[in-house]
Amino acid sequence: MIELKGIAASPGIAIGRTFFLDKEEFAIKKHKIDKKNIDAEIFRFNEAVDKSRFELVEIKKKIVESIGHKNAKIFDAHILVLNDPLFIEKIHNRIKTELLNVEYAVWITTEELSNAFIQSGDSLVSERASDIHDVGRRILRNLLGNEREILASLQEEVIVAAADLAPSDTAQMRKEKVIGFVTDMGGRTSHVAIMARSLEIPAVVGLKEITEKVEPGDLLIVDGNSGTVIVNPENDVLKKYEKEKKKIRVVASELIKLKDVMVRTVDGHEVRLMANIEGPEEIESAINHGAEGVGLYRTEFLYLNRSDLPGEEEQFEAYKYVVDLMKPHPVTIRTLDLGGDKFLSHLNLSPEINPSLGCRGIRLCLNRPDIFKIHLRAILRASIFGNLKIMYPLISGIEELKRANQILEEVKQELTSKGTEFNRDVEVGIMIEVPSAAIIADFLAKETRFFSIGTNDLIQYSLAIDRVNEKIAYLYEPLHPSVLRLIKGVIDTAHNAGIEIGMCGEMASDPLFIPVLLGMGLDEFSMGSISVPVIKEIIRNISLVEAKGLAEKVMNFSSAGEIEEFLRTQLKKNQT
């Protein structure tokens, strides 16, 4: 039995057998083939090439239909590589003369060619390197089978162990028999972790060496509450966790009874508890947990796990469904926040050294008005089916906000000229998640109807701590005095300007922080659905006066450690 400590990413306990998901690199084995198998090996290669070509032609067709020829150029380049006789010959020769297995022949050839292009020093030539690399991976995927298909064909429930996962992988687990996951890398506010909480899959991330400590098939206990993972537990430990698992289920079903109870402090102050969702399939859970609307709809998840972009109709149907079901409660649709840890390989954005500081969120949309306009059209069309609001992510200054609004205006005019219905007075707000926006919130408040504080990013950018990096996770401090000052400042500014302010970062779902945020005057808390009943219970047991007192006191401490100690002592006092 081994016990490992990581970062508690998604609550609950899972007990099951380990399944390894090695998505980082293909496991390419090199071996010599028998001379008599040369033809069979070449046949496998040719088949994989044909399949890859077919896939590329199909993707290109869809892209051309949805956003036009210009954006499909990348696929032309990939098809050219596949049709290049030199490329094909090189691999054939490796199989025929060096007697290499096809997977290795493809891998080594694409590595060699792309490295040669990169080293050429010519930027145009080195762009070809990524085409070769992508094509090589596509062929390999077709030779080896897709890992996801393996996940899809699982017959029994498993706990996934991986060095790292992408948010798209977690999204995929929704449909599979994955009851928990553990990773070497990642932080609590990475989208992989956020998604796990939405799907109610217990998870521990940032374990640093879990993939070295476990073997496929090992029995694992994942304790997503404490961040503990136990490999091959002894019998008494296993029994203890099985009991704990049952207890958690009972507590959760008790809390869910609070579904229709008002969210009101003991002295009668009302706030709204809303749900964060990543897709329409989560709306039922939001309603069942008593959320009074959707405070954050992360629309980018519709763009992941696919080789094309979702079209206007597909998006419209998804937004309409959510807005309609939640009616009369509001649904805040956050416009596309791709980039950072949510990337799309097929958009062919050039790789960035610092993706979190790069072309993500609203920046990407302003760079690609073609994609943004389709997205906005779908949102606006859905706005007549309920109470829909629009929210821009990652706004860092006034010009960006004005530019986004200008594009929105253009889309509104296009819809009007076509006679398409939409809510002309749809509310538009912004996320406050970049420190510059927090600092100039007074200017921004004049141009927008509401704010929502995105603490996941606000903390990352204020403290210069990559939210997905487990090595520095200990420095990711929501209670850092600088973060609290920013939050307090933004709340006051919003109220002075007469606009409402909520919070949709993970901080809004942490029981320890709730009294302080309430005392600072937050109007709305938005969180993963499973947290709604827990937070409701906390708010119902505190008075606003008391919360205000706490919020004032914490501002006098100079470190996160002191603030945390103070809040924990208060919590204990209240519990006794």
Beta carbons of 526 and 331 less than 8 angstroms apart: no
Task: Please report how close the Cβ of residue 395 comes to ligand PEP at its closest, in angstroms.
Answer: 12
Best CA proximity match to 293, nearest among 277, 269, 309, 281: 277
Task: Please report how close the Cβ of residue 459 comes to ligand PEP at its closest, in angstroms.
Answer: 8
CB nearer to ligand PEP: pick between 296 and 567: 296
Task: Please report how close the Cβ of residue 76 comes to ligand PEP at its closest, in angstroms.
Answer: 33
Decide which of Mg ion, ligand PEP, none touches 462; Cβ closer than 5 to 8 Å per partner kind. Answer: none
Task: Please report how close the Cβ of residue 174 comes to Mg ion at its closest, in angstroms.
Answer: 21
Q: Please pick, among 92, 365, 480, 504, the residue that the annotation labels catalytic.
A: 504
Q: Which two tokens stand for residue 378?
A: 């779908």
**What residues between 485 and 504 interact with ligand PEP by CB under 6 A?**
504
Q: Which of 95, 296, 331, 434 binds ligand PEP (CB under 6 A)?
A: 296
Stretch that binds ligand PEP, among 243-251, 261-269, 399-407, 453-461 (CB under 6 A): 453-461
Instruction: Kindly state whether residue 337 participates in binding ligand PEP, applying the rule CB under 6 A.
Output: yes
Q: Which two tokens stand for residue 195?
A: 């998604």
- What is the DSSP code (8-state) at residue 33? P
Best CA proximity match to 567, nearest among 527, 523, 511, 497: 511
**What residues between 117 and 156 interact with ligand PEP by CB under 6 A?**
none
270-273 LR contacts (CB < 8 Å, sep 24+): 271/518, 271/522, 271/523, 271/524, 271/525, 271/539, 272/502, 272/523, 272/524, 272/525, 273/524, 273/525, 273/526, 273/527, 273/532, 273/535, 273/536, 273/539
Q: Number of residues interacting with ligand PEP: please give it, by CB under 6 A.
A: 11
- What is the DSSP code (8-state) at residue 473? G
Binding mask 224-253 for ligand PEP (x = CB under 6 A): ------------------------------
Task: Please report how close the Cβ of residue 445 comes to ligand PEP at its closest, in angstroms.
Answer: 19
Task: Please report how close the Cβ of residue 171 comes to ligand PEP at its closest, in angstroms.
Answer: 13
**What residues between 180 and 199 interact with ligand PEP by CB under 6 A?**
194
Q: Which residues pair with 342 in a beta bridge?
A: 339
Q: Which of 12, 180, 279, 454 binds Mg ion (CB under 5 A)?
A: 454
Q: What is the C-alpha to C-alpha distance for residues 555 and 520, in angstroms, rounded to an integer?
A: 10
Q: Which of 206, 293, 502, 505 binds ligand PEP (CB under 6 A)?
A: 505
- What is the DSSP code (8-state) at residue 455? H
Instruction: Kindly state whether residue 391 participates in binding ligand PEP, applying the rule CB under 6 A.
Output: no
For strands 13-20 and 219-223, give the pairing. Answer: antiparallel
Q: What is the C-alpha to C-alpha distance for residues 72 and 51, in angstroms, rounded to an integer?
A: 19
Stretch that binds ligand PEP, among 32-40, 147-155, 346-354, 451-459 (CB under 6 A): 451-459
Task: Please report how close the Cβ of residue 460 comes to ligand PEP at its closest, in angstroms.
Answer: 8
Stretch that binds ligand PEP, among 50-58, 74-82, 158-166, 450-458 (CB under 6 A): 450-458
Active site residue 359: no
Task: Please report how close the Cβ of residue 190 comes to Mg ion at its closest, in angstroms.
Answer: 11
**What residues between 422 and 441 interact with Mg ion by CB under 5 A?**
433
Best CA proximity match to 521, nearest among 546, 488, 496, 543: 488
Task: Please report how close the Cβ of residue 503 comes to Mg ion at its closest, in angstroms.
Answer: 12
Instruction: Kindly state whether residue 433 participates in binding ligand PEP, applying the rule CB under 6 A.
Output: yes
Instruction: Kindly state whether residue 457 participates in binding ligand PEP, applying the rule CB under 6 A.
Output: yes
Decide which of ligand PEP, Mg ion, none touches 293; Cβ closer than 5 to 8 Å per partner kind. Answer: none
Site of tokens 């096809």: 102
Q: Number of residues interacting with Mg ion: please give it, by CB under 5 A.
A: 3
The alpha-helical segments, DSSP class H, found in 200-291 are 210-213, 235-255, 283-288
Stretch that binds ligand PEP, among 321-329, 380-388, 448-456, 477-485 (CB under 6 A): 448-456
Instruction: Kindly state whether residue 298 participates in binding ligand PEP, applying the rule CB under 6 A.
Output: yes
Best CA proximity match to 439, nearest among 401, 391, 472, 398: 398
SS3 162: strand
Active site residue 191: yes
Q: Which of 455, 462, 509, 529 binds ligand PEP (CB under 6 A)?
A: 455
Work out the angle at residue 174's Cα, subtended by the Cα atoms of residues 9 and 390, and round it to the nearest 5 degrees. Answer: 80
Residues 26/30/33/37 CA torsion (nearest 10 deg): 10
Instruction: Kindly state whether residue 528 participates in binding ligand PEP, applying the rule CB under 6 A.
Output: no
Q: Please pick, among 92, 191, 329, 375, the residue that the annotation labels catalytic.
A: 191
CB nearer to ligand PEP: pick between 413 and 482: 482
CB nearer to ligand PEP: pick between 165 and 542: 165
Decide which of Mg ion, ligand PEP, none touches 180; Cβ closer than 5 to 8 Å per partner kind. Answer: none
Decide which of Mg ion, ligand PEP, none touches 103; Cβ closer than 5 to 8 Å per partner kind. Answer: none
- Which residues, 6 or more positions from 524, have their beta carbon under 8 angstroms from its beta carbon? 271, 272, 273, 274, 295, 452, 500, 501, 502, 503
Stretch that binds ligand PEP, among 71-79, 127-135, 402-410, 452-460 (CB under 6 A): 452-460
Decide which of ligand PEP, Mg ion, none touches 298; Cβ closer than 5 to 8 Å per partner kind. Answer: ligand PEP
Task: Please report how close the Cβ of residue 271 comes to ligand PEP at its closest, in angstroms.
Answer: 18
Best CA proximity match to 508, nearest among 493, 528, 483, 484: 528
Sheet architecture: strand order including 2-5: 2-5, 228-231, 219-223, 13-20, 158-162, 178-183, 203-205, 7-10
Beta carbons of 203 and 9 less than 8 angstroms apart: yes
Beta carbons of 299 and 335 less than 8 angstroms apart: yes
Best CA proximity match to 451, nearest among 467, 438, 435, 436: 438
CB nearer to ligand PEP: pick between 298 and 381: 298
- Which residues, 6 or more positions from 307, have their beta carbon under 8 angstroms from its beta carbon? 55, 59, 346
CB nearer to ligand PEP: pick between 223 and 433: 433
471-474 LR contacts (CB < 8 Å, sep 24+): 473/7, 473/187, 473/188, 473/206
Burial of 262 (0-12, 13-18, 19+ CB in 10 A): exposed
- The residues annotated with a catalytic role in the active site are 191, 504
| Residues in touch with Mg ion (CB under 5 A) | 433, 454, 457
| Residues in touch with ligand PEP (CB under 6 A) | 194, 296, 298, 337, 433, 454-457, 504-505
